[in-house]
A and B are shown apart, each in its own frame.
Chain A
Amino acid sequence: MPASTAPEPGEVSDSDLVKRCQAGDTRAFDVLVSRYRGKVYAMTYHMIQNETEAWDLSQEAFIKAWRAMPNFKLDSAFYTWLYRITHNVTYDWLRKKKMHGDGEFDDSRTEHRVAAGAEAVPRNEPAPDIALKNAELGKRINDAIAKLSPEHKQVILLREVEGLAYEEIAQTIPCSLGTVMSRLFYARKKLQEMLKDAYENAL
């Protein structure tokens, strides 16, 4: 499961904070929010690539976690549990977007991620320096991820960003191991096609 942000020495443990939350202590929940908001936000951002909506969905994930707190038995790490909630919230949002037909990739969504000047760099010409090349590759990767279907995006992010093993991905989604492998393979093949020219030009 994803590595949690372990509390620093002297900090209250997640499990103690969870118990306080379960007794209705909203200040304890505030500590957990501060501890994990960066990870939750990153996960939602990578999935939907829109700052404002990622911010809202992260809020939604924490609110859902608060509501589900009485049912959390501490049988897993808090972040693992929170991670699953966040994943479900984000994936549901993506599916709804797709159903409503407005899930097509919107280039304006990633404008804020683009390094200054990167837009002006012609795609087929080498970048003037490594930093700019990296920025361009970053943009291409984000664009390519955005074009994947929610199912493919999901497995790629669970594997590459969160570092989950296949078994853990299968449990999180949930689906069979075979489905995980198929989706990962085709997601990578699609990314490979979309990024092919970026790599060829970089060689």
Chain B
Amino acid sequence: MKTPSEDHDLIRWLDGEMTDAERARFSTRLAADPDLKAEVEMMQRMSSDLRAHLPAEMTVPYGDFFNSQIQVRLAQEEPLIPEARASWLDWLRLPTLITATAAVAIAGFMIMQKGPAAGDSVVLSIYVPNASVHARTFHSDEAQATVLMLDGVEAIPADRKIVGYYIERTETDQEVAMTTLYGKSGEVVLVVSKDVRNQPRLLSATPRG
């Protein structure tokens, strides 16, 4: 009677799982044992027939329906990336309000830039995330004000109370190229940086009360 190890040798030989030395030893045994040789040949033939009659790939019946049923089920599934619950960050997704954010960011940069005369501000660049929105600025020395005009902006929904931020002062950290905009009470309102194209990039914003 064969030991489990001998049984394993038989299938390891069949499946090519032996080392060269093991294979050589087993081949010697095969040559000396006609019964073992007959069993190996039978198993070899059976393996070959199994592979021939059990294809690794088959035509799926009603293939198009198969795909469409999966799509139907996916539509009923929860989204893979769950949508964030309604929060103050929602407004950041609206093109209109992103534009408004950009405007605020620009305002922050205007404040932090030193103009030709004390108290003046200069718009160095305008970045509008939404290509359908066009931004222009108008500066009045007399009024000591810069007006940002946005064309193509959608109406802000009535239930959104976002009309802008009041920026009291800004601080720029040159080392990390980051500007923090503070509100009236000294609270951090926005943190703005610049991207590789030297355009303003909003890092964080405090929800308005």
Same complex: yes
* Residue B63 CB within 8 A of the other chain: yes
> A37-B60, A185-B8, A188-B11 are contacts. A161–B50 as well, Cβ < 8 Å?
yes
A43 to B47, CA, bound (A): 17
Tell which of B57, B62, B81 touches A38, judged by Cβ atoms closer than 8 Å: B57
B125 to chain A, nearest CB (A): 31
Q: Contact between B80 and A161 (Cβ–Cβ < 8 Å)?
A: no
* Residue B67 CB within 8 A of the other chain: yes
Main secondary structure on chain A at its contact with chain B? helix
The B-contacting residues of A in range 134-155, CB under 8 angstroms, are 134, 137-138, 141-142, 145
**Closest chain A residue to B55, Cβ basis:** A42
* Residue B126 CB within 8 A of the other chain: no
Encoded as 1 (CB less than 8 Å from any B CB) or 0, chain A from 126 to 140 comes to: 000000001001100
Chain A residues closer than 8 Å to B73, beta-carbon distance: 59, 63
A26 to B70, CA, bound (A): 10
The A-contacting residues of B in range 18-64, CB under 8 angstroms, are 42-43, 45-47, 49-51, 53-63
Chain B residues closer than 8 Å to A67, beta-carbon distance: 77, 80
Q: Contact between A188 and B60 (Cβ–Cβ < 8 Å)?
A: no
Chain B residues closer than 8 Å to A134, beta-carbon distance: 53
Chain B residues closer than 8 Å to A181, beta-carbon distance: 7-8, 11-12
* Residue A118 CB within 8 A of the other chain: no
> A37-B63, A145-B54, A182-B4 are contacts. A23–B46 as well, Cβ < 8 Å?
no
Q: Contact between A188 and B57 (Cβ–Cβ < 8 Å)?
A: no
* Residue B10 CB within 8 A of the other chain: yes
**Closest chain B residue to A25, Cβ basis:** B80
Q: Contact between B56 and A42 (Cβ–Cβ < 8 Å)?
A: yes
* Residue B116 CB within 8 A of the other chain: no
Chain A residues closer than 8 Å to B53, beta-carbon distance: 134, 137-138, 141-142
The B-contacting residues of A in range 79-106, CB under 8 angstroms, are none
Q: Contact between A33 and B66 (Cβ–Cβ < 8 Å)?
A: yes
List residues of chain B with CB under 8 Å of any chain A CB.
Answer: 4, 7-8, 10-12, 15, 17, 42-43, 45-47, 49-51, 53-63, 66-67, 69-71, 73-75, 77, 79-81
11 contacts between A and B (CB under 8 A): A23-B81, A30-B70, A38-B59, A42-B58, A45-B58, A63-B73, A63-B74, A67-B77, A160-B51, A166-B17, A181-B8
